[in-house]
Copies of this chain bind each other. A is one copy, B any other.
Amino acid sequence: MEGLVERYIVTLRCVDAPGVIHAMASALLRAQGNILEQAQFTDEATGKFSMRTRFESPLIELENVRSLLDTELSKFGPIISLRREAERRRALIMVSQQDHCLADLLYRHANGELPIDIPVIVSNHYDCQTLAHQYNIPFVHIPVTSTNKMDAERNVMSLIDEHSVDVVVLARYMQILSNDFCSAHEGRIINIHHSFLPGFKGARPYQQAYDRGVKLIGATAHFVTADLDEGPIIEQDVHRVQHNHSALDLAEIGRDVERRVLARAVRLYSEDRVLLDDQRTVIFA
């Protein structure tokens, strides 16, 4: 069927070596590919090479494209991710009681601004159930107590498997995930942190920010890692505040920053624009 094309997104990470870009270009030429977007980056500090290419090709079988990529690129020992653009990333969203990040993600999703699928929302509370149902997304209540944490995580893992989830989005989920859970999903859990990182540790961060009289309130979206309090940063932003903002005002402004920083991070992820490079991210925005 003449003229039929499929759109693909491929990302690649490997040790930098001469010829990688050439090899990718060769593979795409053999796939009669038309490059729509391409970006690459060599980290001179680590010698790691990262690349993202969005292209269209008359090869409508993904396996045929993958095979060409493997043929040309395998000598570089790369980590390759390839998908049809139309097969969207699948996000499981976890939330506790505060709904501002969830509400924003669901609004943007419904509005066509977040090209992901959201098969299920998980919460350890019931506060956000109505919101989930307004947007016709299944809501699963998984309570967390001091004794059932492992069970709860196993339930989440089952949902991840059942729904072929690519990424877990912690949209103000107030439980700490176990190291095992984090390790098993490295680079696949996005958290929104209520602070510009490195930031105020411990409870009541906006009270701490008030006590210090900060002039900017920030938020950080980052990957969750097992061994670190704070994983690779995906996106950050700030908003200016003044001495006459109370700790409550700061919290309200903080919610505003949080929701748009998380939305941007999920958007970047949904288009495969976020590549992990050890403790850092490469963002092909």
Contact = CB atoms under 8 A, between A and B. Distances in A.
Central interface residue in A45, A197, A234, by most chain B CB within 10 Å? A197
Nearest to A23: B25
Contact of A213 (B35, B196, B244, B280): B280
A13 interface: no
A256 interface: yes
Interface residues of A, number: 65
Contact of A281 (B40, B41, B243): B243
A38 to B, nearest CB: 6
Contacts of A19: 25, 29
Given A21-B21, A244-B37, A197 B218 contact: no
Interface string A209-235: 011111110100000000000101111
Contacts of A37: 41-42, 244
A209 to B, nearest CB: 9
A60 to B, nearest CB: 17
B21 A25 contact: yes
A18 B22 contact: no
A42 B246 CA distance: 11
B41 A243 contact: yes
A164 interface: no
Contacts of A232: 212-213
A232 B214 CA distance: 8
A238 B235 contact: no
A100 interface: yes
Interface in A14-32: 18-19, 21-22, 25-26, 28-29, 32
A212 B199 contact: no
A146 interface: no
A205 B214 CA distance: 19
**What 6 A-B pairs come out closest when comparing CB atoms?**
A22-B25, A213-B280, A215-B236, A243-B282, A21-B25, A213-B233
